[in-house]
Structures are given as C-alpha cells and as structure tokens.
Amino acid sequence: MAISTTADPLGTYYRYAFETPTFPDYPKYGVWPNAYLLNTRESGLLGVMALERSEMIAGNPLARFARSTVNQGASGPNGLLPVDMDGFALPPAGSPAYFVGSSDDGAGAASDALLLYKFDVNWASPVKSVLTGPIILNSAPFDTIFPCSPTSRTCIPQPDTTVRLDILSYRQRPTFRLAYRNFGTHESLVTLQSVEASTGMSGLRWWEIRSPNENPIIFQEGTFGPGTTDGIHRWMGSIAMDRKGNMGMGYSVSNGNIVGQGEVYPGIRYTGRLVTDPLGMMPQGEGVIVNGGGSQTSSGNRWGDYTSMNVDPKDDCTFWYTNEYYAATSSTGYATRVGTFVFPGCRATRNPIADFDGDSKTDLSIFRPGPGEWWYQRSGDQSTGAAQFGASTDKIVPFDYTGDGKADLAFFRPSTGYWFILRSEDFSFFAFPFGVGTDIPVPGDYDGDSKADAAVFRPSTATWYINRSSGGTTIQQFGVDTDLPVPADYDGDSLTDIGVYRPTGANGAEWWILRSAGGTYVTQFGASTDKAVPGDYTGDGKADVAYWRPSNGTWYVLRSEDQTFFAFPFGGSSDIPAPGDYDGDGKIDGAVFRPSNSTWYVDRSSAGTLIQQFGQAGDQPVPNAYVR
C-alpha cells in the first residue's frame, strides 16, 4: 500500500507491505479517522483489516495492522465492504469501523438482509482489537441470483455478440463503496448491489443505513430497474451522498440485440435523488457519462468491478464517477471514463463565512476589535478556538479562501488596501494588496471554484473589482454611490452574484441583482432604516432577498421560489443581526447577538431556539460581517 507524501499524485510515496496468513485476494479499501481499512477474500474467509493510518502518513516503518476474519458462505456474507468516509464532519469519538455485507434467502440464508459488523481497533494492543457482528438488518425482498448461463459469469447480454458480461451480484454482494457521512443530526451509510430487478432483467438495489453504532436501521432502500420497461440492463454500480444528503448513483448499461429497440452497447450512466425526494426513489432522471460504441468479446466476462462514486472534498458536492466501457467491439480494448455532476443548490448554500470546523454549521463567533482577537465555538465538539489577528480599524472578511471547507480568519486593512488571511489548515497567513481605503470589501466565490475571491465595491464610481482565485480580475460597474453591496448566489448556480441594496429608492428600499445566470433582477423590498440580510432561508439553493427591521425586531424574507414573502419577529432594536445556518440543514436561521448581556439568540429552522452566552459587550459577531 502506498501513501502519498504530498498533494501531488506524481510526487513521492511511502510504501508499505503487511503479511497475511493466506493470499489477500480482491481487496476493497476504506478510509476512517484512525485507520485505513481493507476487506479481502482468503480461502473461504473474509479478511477484515485496519492499518495504522497516522503512522503510515508519518512514514513510520513500524506502522502496525489489526486483523480479523468472517466465515464466508450462504448463511453469512459472500463479500464485505469497509466503511469509507465522506465530508468534513468526523464520526463521533470512539466510533468503530463498519463493514457491511448482505444475505439472500434465495441463496440459502435465513432472510434478505444487510449484515453489519463493527471493528473496534485497539492501537495500544492491536491483537486486542475486536470484531463484532453480524447485526442483521432485514431488508425488503431482493434477488441476487441472476439467470446466468452457461456459467455464473455469463450474465448481461451485449449487442452483436453472444458473449455475456459478469453481473457479480451473488459472489460479491454489495459493490464499492460503503460511503459514510456524519450530518450532525444523524450518521448514514449508503451502498448498493446488482440484483435481478424483474425476470431476466438486472437492476440495482440500494440502501441507506442510519445510526450504525447506536441503533442501526435501514432508513430507506429501493431497487432502480427501469429495464423492466426499456429493456436496458443496469448493473455494476456505486453510490454516495453529497453534503446535503442528495445521492448520486452510477452504473453500467447494456441491452443486447432487441427487436424494435436501438442497440445499447456497454456504457456508463448515472441517476440520483435529492434529499427532499420521496424515500426509496431515484427520481432525478438518467444522465449519460459515455455511450458505449462496441462490445467486449473476451471469454473472461469480467466487467467494471472496481467502479467508484466519489464526492469531491473541495466542495463536498461534486460527484465523480468512473467505470468501464468499449469504444469499439474488441477482445481487450476496454477504456475507462470519469464523469462528473452536481445537484443544483448543493454548493450554493455552503456556509463558509463562520464555519470554522467544516461541518456546514455556523459557529458562534466574535471579533474583539480592541485587541484584534477572534473567538469561536466549534459546533462539532463545542470546543473554543481563539487567535489574535487584526486591529480595531480593520474590517473582518471571514470566508473560505483556500477551499478546504472551513472559514479562514481574514481582514481587510483600509489604511493599506491589503487583505490578510490566516489559513485554517495550518494557521499560517498570507497577504496581498487589493483595493483602497474607501472601498467596501465584498468577498465571494465569483468564479465557482469553491474558493473565496477577494473583491471590493468602490462607492465613488459604483464599480466592483474582483480578484478571481482561478486567475484574472473582473471589473464591473453596477449600482450608484449610495448603494450597499449585497453579493450572494441569487440564481443557485454556485456563483456569487453582484448585487446592491439601495436604501433610498424612489418607492422604498430597492434591490438590484446582476445574476450570473438570468440577467438583472430588481425588486422593492424594505425601507431605508432596515438591515439587508440576504441568504437562503428556504433551502432551495438560492439566496432570498431579506431584511431585518430594528424598530420591531422582525425578519422579512422574499422567497426566491415564487416572490411571496414571510416575516417573523426575532430580536430587539439594540440587537445585532447575525444570520447563518446554525443547525446545518441548508437553511439560513434568523439570529441576533445582544450586546447588553453578550447572549446569542438563534431561531434554528430544524433544531429549535438556541440561547447561549458567548462574547462580551463591544464584540462584533462574525456572522454579522456582511450585514449592511
């Protein structure tokens, strides 16, 4: 096994070898906080292994491994998958590593079920590591015994040849990956396997397991098998979830020669579901990554069994999927294609302004101007962080400038026009000039690369200057000299849009938005004394025009979906508005900081009201940084 020593895949690696009693065939890998995980096939046994991740990363030649086994057979699993973690939020401290297989009553097991194992790894004494299970999670009926003939590998038909492809349904059971994600409110595991969806037609059974450690249940499951109506086999898949709980599922397709239907050579497609879709369904349609142009004619029949669906760690939203296909009929001319897709709204509602631990939740946080101190309470574990960075005359501009999913401490210094950014990764800092003293800093992800761009609005000329992290500078005149800048993603395309709030409009406060997709949008909403607090309050992936009225402590939100509005009272006239997504549900919550008692009041959309003291009089709440 090789561990990269740098972020460059062409760089150097630490190489490790671990000895097992028998040949460790057909390995599947997973990453867990305290271990690299493996499952192997070993002469009638299934090997379960954990490798000492921290020591391997450090290059320690004495890195250890822990090992156990599971009996392979009809009553037990015929294959296992190790858990593989996605997202920025770690599992709860002390969580075991998970391995999952399945059983089929049609193959001699007691029931159709998922089999969950827990591996408690003891690095103080690896031989004392304990594997427990299986925990039997009974499933809705499914059939893994596909009518393959004349051998167990000749299963899926192809056009223009009698050679069939391996479905690998019963022999492997679930196929890579067993993807884990901690949403804060719950933990999820997702996986799938190829099945006979209807007589002689393949499909994919997928599952979501929740609460795998405390009280594991199959929260939802379904069989994706449109071949029942269109005659196309779908098999050899992989599944994962993005940070919002949307699922992406990729797979192979083929249909053989069917009279009256077009030929579908083995190719690669994908589908998915939004977290708001009905449970057990994959209703988001089908996309094509690549259409096959030929069939495989070799007699080995093996096909695409290391297919993988992964989520990009940069934005925690973009799915990357790889599988096998043929551009032309041949014996061994297979090719690999990597495709990518993202569900609308996933990246648009990320919360990079005051999320210092990367769990997609706004953290209680303040900037203390006198000593230039930052204080924040991480929502993930309630620990407190602090740093001295800046001065009383600086303007705070927190955002994720490095693309690691965590907010960086940052400020703009009007006296010099310099930006100073403290990297969340290692607390080193960098600085650069961009702007002048009278500019208003307006950072945002204007180029959609998941990194905040330094930007300023210059009132004297109503001009925007954007220093794109992807390269180059954008200069755009938009607004008038009395406008207040309110950049946000108003059209849900994951790009920050230029926008201004005009308190002195002819008929009340006006909003002027230059959408990156959809042109200019103008609406009258608010009054001259209101505070502009745009954000995605409804969870549709688009920022809503919104304001907070100090005179009555009421929040007013104009829904992006249909231009209707709603209002709710929360706060008092002397409070400081501090909107953010404090419960991580993808919706902005109304929140205020009360200087008189240094208390935060948060109207969480899915977790109730939070009241907590944090800070002191004179502090600026960090989530207030861009309230105008």
User: Distance between CA atoms of 618 and 595, rounded to whole angstroms?
Assistant: 7
Average pLDDT of 1-8?
A: 92
pLDDT (0 to 100) of residue 155: 94
- pLDDT class of 347 with cuts at 50, 70, 90: low
**pLDDT of 73 higher than 80:** no
In this predicted structure, the answer to whether residue 345 has a pLDDT above a threshold of 80 is no
Interval 450-475 mean pLDDT: 94
Look at phi and psi of residue 42 and say left if phi exceeds 0, alpha if psi is from -120 to 50, else beta.
Answer: beta
Contact 593, 580 (CB under 8 A): no
Q: Average pLDDT, stretch 424-447?
A: 95
- Over pLDDT 70: what percentage of the chain? 97
Q: What per-residue confidence (pLDDT) applies to 300?
A: 81
pLDDT, position 258: 62
* Whole-number pLDDT of residue 584: 82
Question: Beta-strand (E) ranges in 72-112?
Answer: 81-85, 97-103
pLDDT at res. 78: 85
Per-domain residue ranges of the chain: 85-99+106-118+130-341, 364-544
Q: Provide CB contacts within 8 A for 533, sequence distance 6+.
A: 546, 547, 548, 555, 577, 579, 627
User: How confident is residue 171, by pLDDT bands cut at 50, 70 and 90?
Assistant: low
CA angle 362, 367, 368 (to 5 degrees): 150
Q: Is the pLDDT of residue 185 over 90?
A: no
For residue 10, the model assigns a pLDDT of: 94
Per-residue pLDDT of 101-118, as tens digits, reads 999 998 888 999 999 999
Query: Residue 299's pLDDT is what?
Result: 80
| Phi, psi at 53, each rounded to 5° | -60, -50
Query: What is the band of 627 on the pLDDT scale with cuts at 50, 70, 90?
Result: very high
**Structure tokens that stand for 488 in this block:** 């946000």
Q: Is the pLDDT of residue 202 over 70?
A: yes
- At residue 230, what are phi and psi to the nearest 5 degrees? -105, 0
Predicted pLDDT at 349:
52
Give the per-residue pLDDT at 373. 98
Structure tokens at 449: 């690369």
- Give yes or no for a contact between 352 and 407, defined as CB atoms under 8 angstroms apart: yes
- pLDDT tens digit sequence for 39-71: 999 988 999 999 999 999 999 999 999 999 999
The number of beta carbons lying within 10 Å of the beta carbon of residue 505 is 18
- Beta bridge mates, 249: 239, 271
Q: Which two tokens stand for residue 540?
A: 């549709």
Residue 256: predicted pLDDT:
83
Predicted confidence (pLDDT) at residue 528 exceeds the cutoff of 70? yes
pLDDT at 557 (0 to 100): 98
The residue with greater pLDDT, 352 or 394, is 394
pLDDT of residue 508: 87
Q: What is the pLDDT of residue 166?
A: 94
Q: What is the mean pLDDT of the chain?
A: 93
pLDDT of residue 234: 97
The Cβ of residue 511 has, within 10 Å, a number of other Cβ atoms equal to 24
CA distance 463 to 91: 46
Report whether pLDDT(262) > 60: yes
pLDDT of residue 261: 66
Kindly state the average pLDDT of the residues 430-450: 94
**Predicted local distance difference test score (pLDDT) of residue 396:** 98
Q: Which residues contact 94 (CB under 8 A, 6 or more apart)?
A: none
pLDDT cut 90: percent of the chain above it: 79
Q: Which residue has the tokens 């310099």?
A: 418
* More confident position, 384 or 258: 384
Residue 614: per-residue pLDDT: 97
- pLDDT for the residue 350: 57
Q: Using alpha carbons, list the distances in angstroms from residue 429 to 6, 27, 199, 330, 441.
A: 20, 41, 62, 55, 19
C-alpha to C-alpha distance for 370 and 420, rounded to whole angstroms: 18
CA distance 281 to 272: 9
Under the banding of pLDDT at 50, 70 and 90, the label for residue 348 is: low
Q: How confident is the model at residue 74 (pLDDT cuts 50, 70, 90)?
A: low
Average of pLDDT values for 372-394?
A: 95
Q: What is the pLDDT of residue 547?
A: 98
How many angstroms separate the CA atoms of 454 and 411, rounded? 11
CA distance 307 to 270: 12
533 pLDDT above the threshold of 90: yes
- Give the per-residue pLDDT at 149: 86
Residue 514 has pLDDT above 80, yes or no: yes
Read off the pLDDT band of 449 (50, 70, 90): confident
Q: What is the pLDDT of residue 503?
A: 94
Q: How far is it, in rounded angstroms, from Cα 500 to Cα 523?
A: 11
> Does 259 have pLDDT greater than 60?
no
Residue 420 CA to residue 360 CA, distance in Å, equals 24
CA distance 102 to 125: 30
Look at 75-79, 156-160, 386-390 and tell me which has the smallest mean pLDDT. 75-79
Q: Which CATH class is domain 85-99+106-118+130-341?
A: mainly beta
77 has a pLDDT exceeding 90: no
Alpha-carbon span 492 to 347, nearest angstrom: 8
Q: How confident is the model at residue 316 (pLDDT cuts 50, 70, 90)?
A: confident
Residue 450's region, left for phi above 0, alpha for psi from -120 to 50, else beta, is left
What integer is the mean pLDDT of 435-460? Answer: 94
Provide the pairing of β-strand 81-85 with 175-182.
parallel
Judged by average pLDDT, the poorest of 56-65, 168-177, 494-503 is 168-177
Residue type, 45: L
Cα–Cα distance, 545 to 523 (Å, whole number) = 9
Tell me, rounded to whole angstroms, the distance of Cα 574 from its chain centroid.
38
pTM of the model: 0.69
* Cβ atoms < 10 Å from Cβ of 591: 30
| Three-class SS state of 252 | strand
User: If we measure between CA atoms, which residue out of 558, 555, 554 comes closest to residue 536?
Assistant: 558
The pLDDT value given to residue 91: 92
What's the pLDDT score for residue 615?
96
Report d(CA 492, CA 515) in Å as an integer.
Answer: 10
Strand order in the sheet with 599-604: 576-577, 590-594, 599-604, 608-613
Residues 603 and 330: beta-carbon distance below 8 Å = no
